[in-house]
Amino acid sequence: MDNVFIDSVDTYICDLPVKRPHQLAMTTITTQAIVITIIKDKSGRTGVSEVATIGGASYGDSTVEAIKANVDKYIVPHLIDQSPIHFNRIMTTVSKYVRGNYFAKAAIETALIDLAAKQREIPAYELFGGKIHDSLPLAWTLASGDTTKDIEEAQEMLHTKRHNIFKLKIGHGDPTANVNHVGEIIKAVGDQSRITVDINQAWDEYTASKQIRALEEMGVSMIEQPPPTWNYEGMKRLTEKFDVSILADESTTSLHDTYRIIKERAGDAVALKPAKHGGILETRKIAGIAEAAGFGIYGGTMIESTVGNAIAASVYSTIPEFKFGTEIFGPLLYQDKLTLEDIKVENFEIQIPDDIGFGSTLDYDKLNHYQR
């Protein structure tokens, strides 16, 4: 049994190019930075994970450089000679000695789970509750910044039955012009699709109050994180004022953040993201308290490549209901991938992998090509 114990942990920073610029409120993505973690046991089996960040430090305080440094120095010493099947115990120990660092913890926990599942030759979701869904609705973000291009892109997605839920990133630039942009897209494809918008914390409460009224009248179904993360009171007032759903994303990082959002009704829906929560175990806790409170749940993304996307798909497959679907489209935005597998989308839904572990086979040639 000694061969099941952890022998080594390696982390790699990679920069992957995307197919088109992806515009958010705080940055425009042309290359996405990710961290790949590989945990190897003494028999040579490997567990692989990925966490992605957006725009360096402009989106949040977890940069790829910090994730790698903190994994290597502060987390790895708690892993060597441990059995990965005890991932819950290991992560409890890690949390006692390492505060915050949710992305770093997610990178380690998911690699542990992948390795534990491979040691038992089972899909990873069997280790945290079992699969409910074989597929999930998949949204696509229209974020080129050009109305005509976005409409053409949406029409192509509808024609190929890839997506019929569209999110528009409208936090960058003039709010009124951006709302008009949404209106044009709804006129073009709104009768065939559901439209949501993401502000990425870019509006103050006055701007949000003015613009949400117009968005609600247009028929937008959900508005994501209008004010900054700290403005719980503003989120609460907006939720009370409008019928359209107000989704908390950046303000629901930890279990405790989410509890506060729910207790104060500072929103009526939450976005899940395994990386921002610190891994799968915490993600499932957050989904549980959101479900108990009657909050809508959305399967979010940090725009991971195929490795991280398979992890998100696996955990989301075990959660009963996603009121707003999921947006784990990341690999479809990349020019290349680090795995032999790709994601499968059929009839507007992403198919959940059933292979051993998280269903990803790392392409080491690609890893070597894209790593820093």
The answer to whether 54 and 48 have CB atoms below 8 angstroms apart is: no
65 among known catalytic residues: no
Spot the catalytic one: 282, 327, 337, 349: 327
Spot the catalytic one: 68, 118, 169, 337: 169
Contacts of 239 (CB under 8 A, 6+ apart): 246, 265, 266, 267, 268
The answer to whether 327 and 138 have CB atoms below 8 angstroms apart is: yes
Residues 269 and 247: their CA atoms lie apart, in Å, by 5
Residues 351 and 182: their CA atoms lie apart, in Å, by 29
Residues 207 and 219: their CA atoms lie apart, in Å, by 19
Residues 69 and 310: their CA atoms lie apart, in Å, by 25
Furthest CA-CA distance within the chain:
63
337 among known catalytic residues: no
The Cα-based distances of 250 to 171, 268, 272, 286, 297 in angstroms read: 14, 14, 10, 14, 14
Active site residues: 169, 327
